[in-house]
Amino acid sequence: MAWSVDAILGDKYRLIRLLGDGSAGTVWEAENTLVGRRVAVKILHDELAGHTEIRDRFVAEARASARIAHANVVDVFDLGEAEGGTPFMVMELCEGDTLSHIIEQRGAMGAEYACELLIQILSALEAAHALGIVHRDLKPANVIVIHPAPDQPLAKVLDFGIAKGVHPDGEDPEERDVFGTPHYMAPEQAAGDSVDHRADIYAAGAILYELLTGRPPFDGSMPSLVLADVLTRPPKPMRAFVKTLPTGLEELVRKTLEKDPFDRPQSARLLARALTSFVRETSSPRRRPSVSATEPPLPLVAKVGADQAPDSNKPRLQLVQQSEPPPAIPGKLK
């Protein structure tokens, strides 16, 4: 069914405003009418609700996020079924932009800022990995960046829809299928082999490479070409795209992109610890990466006041990309 403003889901979630519409579902700003809390509600498209694998991934996403319960993971509060049995999940409402949108608008970032974002993403991964959860589709589109202050980003990871380790029976029916996004996919994952937490380490390295250079480590006109490079070629040296980098940073990124998972940093914590040397410490409880006068901070999302109508052309929250690829079908890439 077509959802509209003021529709009620689960007898208590009133839809207020459409935030995003993708191939898998829609995301709405909503209000819990019982307690008056504003939330984000992600509703699976009706035509996909009867697809067992897609429905299972939707439920897995909610289960994984709820289990992790970390400051750098978009929290999931509830899971339910709308009229007709369409599943929906209730998440915290985050005012921010996807990291992919920021990269598209901004391009390459300073090393200190990029490393701060990665440290936060790695903190989320560390919490997930401690529970045996491997994201398997970590990419800029699955990271929301909020700005409590102009120089103080807060990264939140979302979309654990193809996460490994969240199935109630302990088995993963998708283990032998290739899922993910080619530009950020570890070689072992691209080859259809078994993956562990080190596939997320590779994806984090690919994101850091893109933050620092403005482009992913491998690119091509077709997914097959990207995957061929992921499997067989080293990424181009970062200094081909950025003139100066702190000593040791390019080597660290290169190690995260090694073909053999045993040659990468072996945990999110170890990689985050290595990145801290590239982020200046301050007296505040959290690091606040400095931003030079010639490099403005990441764009803040405009606040919408009581006397200002929201811009319908740019939602404040972008949990679902407008150009989101169709859901993965077993044996095929997203």
Q: Which pTM was predicted?
A: 0.77
Band of the pLDDT at 48, cuts 50, 70, 90? confident
Active site residue 172: no
pLDDT at 130 over 50: yes
Task: Determine contact, residues 250/237, Cβ cutoff 8 Å.
Answer: yes
pLDDT at 213: 95
In the chain, the number of structural domains is 2
Which pLDDT tens digit goes with each residue over 275-296? 999 987 643 334 444 333 223 3
Q: Quote the pLDDT of residue 163.
A: 64
Burial of 11 (0-12, 13-18, 19+ CB in 10 A): exposed
Residue 54 has a pLDDT of: 84
Predicted local confidence at residue 120, as pLDDT: 97
Would the pLDDT of 71 be above 60? yes
Between 4 and 305, name the one with better pLDDT: 4
State the amino acid at position 91 in one-letter form: M
Half-sphere exposure at residue 217, Cβ-oriented, CA atoms within 13 angstroms? 34
Q: Are residues 147 and 209 in the same domain?
A: yes
Question: What is the pLDDT, as a whole number, of residue 179?
Answer: 64
Residues 124, 260: one domain? yes
Residue type, 318: Q
| Cα torsion angle, 63, 69, 73, 78, sign | positive
From the list 97, 137, 159, 229, the catalytic residue is: 137
Q: Measured between alpha carbons, how far is 40 from 77 in angstroms, rounded to an integer?
A: 10
CATH code of the domain containing 153: 1.10.510.10
Domain annotation covers residue 264: yes
Q: Which of 218-227, 239-248, 316-325 has the lowest mean pLDDT?
A: 316-325
> Can you state the angle between helices 198-213 and 249-256, rounded to 10 degrees?
140
Average pLDDT over residues 234-262: 93
The rounded distance, in Å, linking the Cα atoms of 38 and 51 is 30
Q: Does one domain contain both 186 and 248?
A: yes
Residue 107 pLDDT exceeds 70: yes
* Mean pLDDT, rounded, of the chain: 80
Q: How far apart are CA 274 and CA 118, in angstroms?
A: 11
Q: Determine the pLDDT at residue 296.
A: 36
Same-domain check for residues 197 and 106: yes
Residue 171 and residue 82: Cα distance in Å, rounded?
28
Whole-angstrom Cα distance, residue 293 to residue 173? 51
Domain of 236 in residue numbering reads as 97-278
Q: Which SS3 state, helix, strand or coil, does residue 310 take?
A: coil
In a domain, 179, yes or no: yes
Between residues 145 and 162, the one the model is more confident about = 145
